[in-house]
Amino acid sequence: MVVMASYRFAIATQGTRGDFQPVLSLGIGLARAGHVVKFFANPGHCKMAKEFNFDASEISIEAKDFLQSERGLKAMELGDLALLGSTAEFADEQNSTAEEIDWAEIFCREVSEFKPDLLIWTPLVGYMAYAFKDANPQIPTIMAGYQPHVIPTNHIGPILMQRLEMEPEQPLMFRWVMEAQSEAKSSYDRGLREIAEGRTPGLYSTPQFCFERYFGVEEMPSPILLSYSPAWWPAYDDWPKVNVEITGNWKIPKAEQEAAAAKGGSLFNAGGQHEACVNFIKAGEPPVYIGWGSMMVYSKEHMARLAVGALKEAGMRGIIVGGWAELSEESLGDGEEYADLKEFCKKSVLFLKSAPHEWLFPQCACCVHHGGIGTAQVSLSAGVPTIVTPVFADQKDIAKKMEEDKLGGCTPHLSKVTAADLGALIQKCCSDPDIIRNCKELAAKMQEEDGVGYTVSFLEKFMNDEVGSGKWKKKNDAQIARLTASAEKLKKVRIEQVFGMWNMDLMAKYPVIKAYLWDLARVMAIGYL
């Protein structure tokens, strides 16, 4: 009998509830397996972690403050993630008259004091994780992505390059190349500045590392975890065959969510509304769920009127979860023109501040939301049609996939959705036999998956077989040697030369890039002649 060692896992994330709840579920699974877990996250998420008896340290501002700022609201309204900038930039703006807060320094100090055996981090804290890795190169780290938009592929583009205009016939893979080049150029310039100031550039912010983390995944010391359902979104055919693990959804089981809601915890319940929700569901036909979480366009009045108006158009009861916009019946406004919506609400609408999705969604006829991948997976695993009203980031691709897979429907950008159109789509999804059948069949497959259980076993095996045996150290040392050699060449090689070498490697690895570049070269040669 093999006795499994107990490890210390640091879990770091930043963002909305949808960014925190999956890693919370993983933490619960690791703790139950006998491991020590500490979270490093937003202040609100740290509070939630402590409700589940975890230690936690604050390492960023609140994402709500970021998204609800003038910049955040404009980015959601226009559907342009690039307008957000970074939380670091926002924090600098908010503290412009005070001493600047170095969150990366705080992160490195807090995580180091915990003395983890492994750091698990999500993409929004990437710059902090790399700073930690520079200071602690012999501590293993693993990135956990929530969507497939972290591995280059010719099937979908990277999130930050969605608005980039492509040349005719140019493969999507070039968006990944351009994103990597953009990061590499910033790293190159920063490295030269650090050298000029007499400092040593960080190894994990070099152009070489930018290339490896995008296009050399197979050679990385640690794998990448993708915590979504392979039954819904299987690996693409041009992905690496090693070092990428689609684990299944990390979720807190339905029974535990209901128990937490009944207890009144902040994650699944607000203001003791659980009993009211139970009574509303029992009082009639299955309701339609509408909730936009952290997303909002125009105003909360607009959002409330859209939600209630769509339900009225569809002639269906509904549960509307207020989210960060804090939607309520009062949000409809006092004008006479909204009197009919208020009258409709009396018998047909229940407003909630929050709700346990795993428990609620299976009791609904349809789910309408912004298409965050966490919420999308819950509605799909519940077996109910899903309507996505995308705002930005991965939501556009999730909306497209939802429609292509005939699992529900998608709308234009949330700012362009009308109550009449949304109501008609709700009616269609609740009555289309093909959509209903597809949802039931996919849900049966997703319910068989145990994403947390699989990931706990995978991490234990990684720590024992890779780290414990010394295999990880050998690969890590080899990467450090490559990055060191690359850093030493910074002053000798122009970034254009670096990109030229990239192209040679990319042509050898990706046939689609080779074909396009050869065609481009032929066209240029003919034009020259």
Return the H-helix or E-strand segment holding 224.
strand 224-226
CB atoms under 10 Å from CB of 243, counted, come to 16
Give whole-number Cα distances, 176 to 86, 183, 211, 413, in Å.
20, 11, 10, 24
Q: What is the pLDDT of residue 525?
A: 62
CB 117 within 8 A of CB 141: no
pLDDT (tens digit per residue) in 75-131: 777 666 666 665 555 555 555 444 578 889 999 999 999 999 999 999 989 999 999
User: According to the model, what pLDDT value does residue 97 have?
Assistant: 43
What does each C-alpha distance from 139 to 8, 36, 80, 172 come to in angstroms?
A: 12, 16, 36, 35
Which tens digits make up the pLDDT trace of 478-508? Answer: 999 999 998 888 888 899 999 999 999 999 9
* Other C-beta atoms lying within 10 Å of the C-beta of residue 119: 26
Cβ-contact 112, 12 below 8 angstroms: no
pLDDT of res. 414: 93
CA 165 remoteness from chain centre: 24
Sign of CA dihedral 449, 452, 453, 456: positive
Which residues sit opposite 40 in a β-bridge? Answer: 12, 57
Distance CA 364, CA 317 (A): 10
CATH superfamily of 271-448: Glycogen Phosphorylase B; (3.40.50.2000)
* Gap between the Cα atoms of 514 and 497, Å rounded: 18
Q: Which two tokens stand for residue 207?
A: 């152009």
Spatial strand order in the sheet of 224-226: 55-58, 36-41, 8-12, 118-121, 141-145, 224-226, 244-246
Beta strand 55-58 with 36-41 is: parallel
| Dihedral sign (CA 449, 452, 453, 459) | positive
Query: Alpha helix locations (H) across 115-170?
Result: 126-135
Q: What is the pLDDT of residue 216?
A: 95
pTM: 0.89
Query: What token pair was written down for 78?
Result: 């226009």
pLDDT of residue 490: 83
| Residue 176 CB contacts under 8 Å (≥ 6 apart), including other chains | 152, 153, 157, 158, 161, 214
> What is the Cα 64 distance to its own chain's centre?
15
Per-residue pLDDT tens digits for 351-377: 998 888 888 999 999 999 999 888 999
pLDDT in tens, the chain (529 residues): 455 689 999 999 998 888 898 999 999 999 999 999 999 999 999 999 998 999 999 998 887 676 667 776 777 776 666 666 655 555 555 554 445 788 899 999 999 999 999 999 999 899 999 999 999 999 999 999 999 999 999 999 998 887 777 777 889 999 999 999 999 999 999 988 988 888 888 899 899 999 999 999 999 999 999 999 999 999 999 999 999 999 999 988 767 766 666 665 555 554 568 888 999 999 999 999 999 988 888 898 999 999 999 999 999 999 999 987 889 888 898 878 888 999 999 999 999 988 888 889 999 999 999 998 889 999 999 999 999 999 888 899 999 999 999 999 999 999 999 999 999 999 999 999 999 999 999 999 999 999 999 999 999 999 999 999 999 999 999 999 999 998 888 888 899 999 999 999 999 999 999 998 888 777 666 655 4
Assess contact for 269 and 297: CB atoms under 8 A.
no
Residues 307, 387: Cα–Cα separation, whole Å = 13
Cα–Cα distance measured from residue 139 to residue 384, given in angstroms and rounded to the nearest whole number = 43
**pLDDT value of position 68:** 67
* Secondary structure string (H, E, C) spanning 115-128: CCCEEEECHHHHHH
33, 53, 41, 54: which is closest to 12 by C-alpha? 41
φ/ψ of residue 375, rounded to 5 = -65, -40
Specify whether the CB–CB gap between 112 and 138 falls below 8 A.
no
Query: Domain residues of the chain, as ranges?
Result: 271-448
Q: What is the pLDDT of residue 98?
A: 43
pLDDT of residue 92: 54
Q: Which of 144, 65, 34, 76 is nearest to 391 (CA)?
A: 76
pLDDT at residue 274 in the model: 80
Whole-number Cα distances in Å, 334 to 35, 207, 288, 331, 504? 54, 57, 25, 9, 65
How many Cβ atoms from other residues are within 10 Å of residue 508's Cβ? 10
pLDDT the model gives residue 199: 87
